[in-house]
Amino acid sequence: MAKRVFIVHRWAAEATDDYYPWLKDQLEEKGFTAKIVDLPETMDPKPEKWLAQLEKEVGKPDEDTILVGHSLGAQTVMNYLEKDHGARIRGAVLIAHWPRLSEKDKEHQEYIAMSKRWLSREPRWEEIARNTDGVIAIFSDNDPFVPLSDSAVLKRRLNAKIIIEKGKGHFGDVEPAVLELQSALNAVIELSKRKSGKK
């Protein structure tokens, strides 16, 4: 059975933005089934609505399911993995994920207000780890929002494999615009080849 990949976009984005179409096309060329999840109210995102949409799109997860999330999309993937959906998924790729508020947030008031809505409590790390076979997290060394120190949190809490990109910013459509992301493609392929565990 083909691996199913769901790509979850960032705040203020759509399915046609950033590297999402490129990643979808590349995955399909390699035999994956890939879908970019269109999320509601993208300029004023609400955790419960984004999670509900992702759950609707995924349907019944299984060992052939891989989730890719970017920024708030990565947070949505984390929220998804906190819940028991009846099966452990093959893996998750988290891009520019911020598991906590940081000093960088003080420079972006709109960002910190949004962050508080999504980070009102500590993530349920044990549940997240239990519901996926593996996590790969991708960061940029010049991300204006996410400090590299956040990578250590994901490494410690989820035993995530960490990839550090150079000069990719927040992996979005502002300079530098990121319209292709080879590391994300490689991460999905790597997860697809890992041995699946059973719940």
pLDDT of residue 103: 56
pLDDT of residue 88: 96
Say which residue, 173 or 163, is predicted with more confidence. Answer: 163
Among 10-14, 79-83, 132-136, 171-175, the minimum mean pLDDT is found in 171-175
Annotate 98-130 with b (16+ C-beta within 10 A) or e (fewer): bbeeeebbeeeeebbebbeebbeeebebeebbe
Is pTM beyond 0.85? Reply is: yes
Q: Nearest CA to 6 among 45, 35, 33? A: 35
Rounded Cα gap, residues 23 and 44, in angstroms = 25
Query: pLDDT by residue (tens digit) across 128-140?
Result: 999 999 999 999 9
Query: pLDDT by residue (tens digit) across 68-91?
Result: 999 999 999 999 999 999 999 999
Of all residues in the chain, what percent are helix, strand and coil, respectively (each to 5)? 40, 15, 45
pLDDT of residue 4: 98
Is pLDDT at 199 greater than 50 in this prediction?
Answer: no
Q: What is the DSSP letter of 55?
A: H
pLDDT of residue 1: 67
Rounded Cα gap, residues 112 and 140, in angstroms = 19
Rounded Cα gap, residues 121 and 119, in angstroms = 5
Query: pLDDT by residue (tens digit) across 21-66?
Result: 999 999 999 999 999 999 999 998 999 999 999 999 999 999 999 9
Report residue 111's pLDDT band, with 50, 70 and 90 as the boundaries.
low
Q: Which superfamily, per CATH, for 4-193?
A: Alpha/Beta hydrolase fold, catalytic domain (3.40.50.1820)
Query: Facing residues of 66 across strands?
Result: 5, 91
Query: pLDDT by residue (tens digit) across 90-108?
Result: 999 999 998 876 655 555 6
